[in-house]
């Protein structure tokens, strides 16, 4: 067992290091892409002001080539993505909010204006001081630019922050004359067409988004089934390992001659547990990534952090046992301790707790749960359900309900602590230490319910029912512990008195 524990912990540290390196490279790549995108936008704005149509076309081709390199297709879905990336570049802005069309208008370049409008540039964009492209063209006395903008929907009635319209700031009489003579009903007609086109694009984008969400949701459903299958197999392997350990211990106690066979069976069971554990972790990682993608799609691409508390291993006593700051009391829920490293399990095993390994059938027996719960209430100590990498919450709830209908809700709502609710758990065969007079309010107030998981992303049901507490293991702490402490794999529960 020690060898397997050490190998499991070393593998965990290695995976965390590899994950950190992948995250570093990912962030570095993202920063590189952002720098390149910023450089392209700067080039686009400068080319527009200078009227360099060929340079602008080259930049838009770079955007299209990047989409092709990224695997964006040319089907309906791909066209939506490509169009959005193209429009993002055509309508990019500088620090003052000026678009390439505004810059081309300020520079008085009709060819550049024509090219940008045909590429989807907005003729009424607002830049510095709320000035439109038409305002800047009129101010600069660019007659051809003003005519072109008017013909493509630029609104001469829009005011800038200085309270002036394009006509009022026009630097040439010929420009004033054109603006004064322009029929704004033509503008209204073009604006209605542009609004209809924008709505069409928005609807197309929404349909595309909905299709992506459906596709990702289907992938989540398939991966969830695969992860559930892996978890069931791992749960069965843990149960078999506990059975083999119990058989081996029995043979040793009775000094039977087949201990080598039972020890070999334990080793085989350990190997199977490790193999299935790795498979379950891989399935969970795939599922977590796709779930993250789904959340980002449903939240317009803005990922959200897991709610709850975060603490280091060294802070577990302050957070869990002492509730320094009263965060758990204020929340009202029992904590769900999320710790893939296994250090929290070690911490709780060696504290004064009633610790139940949910993968061990002996610990999940109804009578074992009853005595553990009664002991925790009687002596004012935490009751711990360790689910390891498994999703055993349904099993825990099922056993609690077999013990007493409604007990799960009584525990979660803390009503088990009210009005001597625990009396229904007492049995005539219980010893004198469980007499009703032995249950003191001062001790019962120290009762805690802890649920422990090694899964990075626990099921949503757990996140809703409990207060998530993520245990952070610093790199320095990992290096110190990597060859000193190792998270134990489930073992057969030693005979002990629950108190």
145-172 pLDDT per residue, tens? 999 999 999 999 999 999 999 999 999 9
DSSP string, 93-153: --TT---HHHHHHHHT-HHHHHHHHHTT--TT---GGG--HHHHHHHTT-HHHHHHHHHTT
In this structure, which topology does domain 211-298 adopt according to CATH? Helix Hairpins (1.10.287)
* Cβ atoms 369, 399 nearer than 8 A: yes
- pLDDT band for 4, please (50, 70, 90 cuts): low
pLDDT band for 312, please (50, 70, 90 cuts).
Answer: confident
pLDDT tens profile 359-408: 888 999 999 999 999 999 999 999 999 998 888 899 999 999 999 999 99
Q: What is the DSSP-derived secondary structure letter of residue 490?
A: P
- The tokens describing 434, both together, are 């469980």
Tokens 């992303």 belong to residue: 457
Q: What is the pLDDT of residues 6-15, one digit of tens each?
A: 665 666 667 6
Average pLDDT, the chain: 87
Give, for 40, the enclosing helix (H) or strand (E).
helix 2-50
Within 10 angstroms of residue 176's Cβ, the number of other Cβ atoms is 17
Please say whether the beta carbons of 411 and 396 come within 8 A.
Answer: no
Number of neighbouring beta carbons within 10 Å of residue 33: 11
CA distance 396 to 235: 13
Terminal C-alpha separation, the chain: 28
Q: May I ask the CATH class of domain 309-472? A: alpha beta
How confident is the model over 197-236, as pLDDT tens digits?
888 888 888 888 888 888 998 999 999 899 989 989 998 9
Q: What average pLDDT score do residues 99-115 get? A: 96
DSSP codes of every residue in 187-241: HHHHHHHHHHHHHHHHHHHHHHHHHHHHHHHHHHHHHHHHHHHHHHHHHHHHHHH
* pLDDT digit string, tens, across residues 227-270: 989 989 998 999 999 999 998 988 888 877 788 888 899 999 99
Contact indicator for 266, 248 with CB cutoff of 8 Å:
yes
Q: How many CA atoms lie within 13 A of 148 on its CB side?
A: 21
Range(s) of the chain covered by CATH 1.25.40.20? 34-182
Residues of each domain in the chain carrying CATH 3.40.50: 309-472
Q: Which two tokens stand for residue 455?
A: 């899964």
Instruction: Give the CA distances from residue 59 to residues 45, 63, 89, 123, 363, in Å, rounded to whole numbers and listed in that order.
Output: 11, 6, 9, 20, 66
In this predicted structure, what is the pLDDT of residue 326? 87
pLDDT for position 133: 97
Q: Which residues contact 148 (CB under 8 A, 6 or more apart)?
A: 110, 113, 114, 117
Q: Which two tokens stand for residue 372?
A: 């553990």
- H or E stretch at 468: strand 467-472
Architecture of domain 34-182: Alpha Horseshoe (1.25)
pLDDT digits (tens, 9 = 90+) for 483-497: 333 334 334 333 333
DSSP string covering 139-161: HTT-HHHHHHHHHTT--TT---T
pTM: 0.52
Decide if 98 contacts 126 (C-beta within 8 A): no
Report the distance separating Cα 479 and Cα 474, nearest Å: 9
Q: Parallel, antiparallel, or unpaired: how do β-strands 467-472 and 309-312 relate?
A: parallel
CATH 1.10.287 residue ranges of the chain are 211-298
CB atoms within 10 A of CB 107: 18
How does residue 482 score in pLDDT terms, banded at 50, 70 and 90?
very low
Q: What is the pLDDT of residue 476?
A: 43
Contacts of 495 (CB under 8 A, 6+ apart): none
Output 52 or 211, whichever has higher pLDDT: 52
């Amino acid at each position: 067992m020690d060898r397997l524990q050490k190998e499991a912990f070393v593998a965990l540290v290695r995976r965390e290091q590899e994950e950190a390196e992948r995250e570093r490279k990912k962030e570095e790549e993202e920063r590189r892409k952002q720098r390149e995108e910023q450089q392209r936008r700067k080039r686009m704005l400068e080319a527009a002001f200078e009227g360099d149509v060929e340079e602008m076309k080259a930049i838009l081709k770079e955007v299209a080539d990047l989409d092709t390199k990224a695997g964006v297709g040319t089907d309906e879905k791909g066209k939506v993505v490509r169009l959005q990336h193209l429009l993002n570049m055509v309508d990019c802005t500088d620090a003052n909010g000026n678009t390439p069309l505004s810059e081309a208008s300020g520079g008085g370049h009709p060819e550049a204006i024509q090219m940008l409008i045909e590429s989807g540039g907005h003729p009424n964009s607002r830049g510095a001081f709320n000035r439109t492209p038409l305002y800047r063209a009129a101010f600069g006395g660019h007659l051809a630019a003003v005519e072109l903008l008017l013909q493509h929907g630029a609104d001469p009635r829009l005011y800038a922050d200085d309270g002036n319209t394009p006509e009022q700031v026009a630097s040439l009489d010929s420009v004033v004359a054109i603006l004064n003579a322009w029929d704004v009903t033509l503008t209204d007609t073009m604006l209605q067409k542009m609004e209809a086109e924008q709505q069409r694009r928005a609807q197309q984008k929404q349909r595309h988004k909905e299709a992506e969400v459906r596709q990702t949701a289907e992938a989540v459903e398939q991966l969830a089934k695969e992860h559930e299958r892996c978890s069931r197999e791992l749960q069965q392997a843990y149960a078999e390992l506990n059975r083999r350990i119990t058989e081996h211990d029995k043979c040793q106690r009775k000094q039977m001659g087949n201990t080598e066979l039972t020890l070999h069976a334990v080793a085989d069971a350990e190997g199977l547990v490790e193999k299935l554990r790795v498979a379950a972790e891989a399935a969970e990682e795939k599922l977590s990534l796709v779930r993250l993608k789904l959340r980002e799609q449903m939240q317009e691409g803005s990922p959200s952090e897991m709610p709850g508390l975060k603490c280091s291993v060294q802070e577990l006593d302050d957070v869990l046992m002492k509730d320094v700051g009263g965060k758990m009391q204020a929340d009202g829920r029992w904590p769900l301790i999320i710790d893939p490293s296994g250090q929290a399990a070690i911490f709780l095993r060696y504290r004064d707790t009633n610790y139940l390994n949910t993968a061990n059938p002996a610990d999940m027996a109804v009578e074992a749960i009853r005595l553990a719960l009664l002991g925790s209430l009687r002596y004012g100590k935490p009751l711990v359900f360790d689910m390891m990498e498994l999703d055993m919450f349904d099993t825990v709830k099922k056993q609690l309900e077999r013990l007493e209908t409604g007990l799960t809700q009584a525990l979660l709502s803390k009503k088990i602590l009210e009005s001597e609710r625990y009396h229904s758990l007492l049995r005539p065969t219980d010893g004198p230490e469980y007499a009703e007079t032995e249950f003191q309010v001062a001790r019962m107030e120290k009762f805690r319910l802890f649920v422990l998981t090694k899964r990075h992303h626990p099921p949503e049901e757990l996140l809703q029912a409990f207060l998530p507490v993520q245990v952070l293991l610093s790199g320095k702490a990992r290096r110190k512990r990597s060859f000193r402490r190792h998270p134990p794999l489930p073992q057969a529960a030693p005979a002990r008195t629950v108190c």
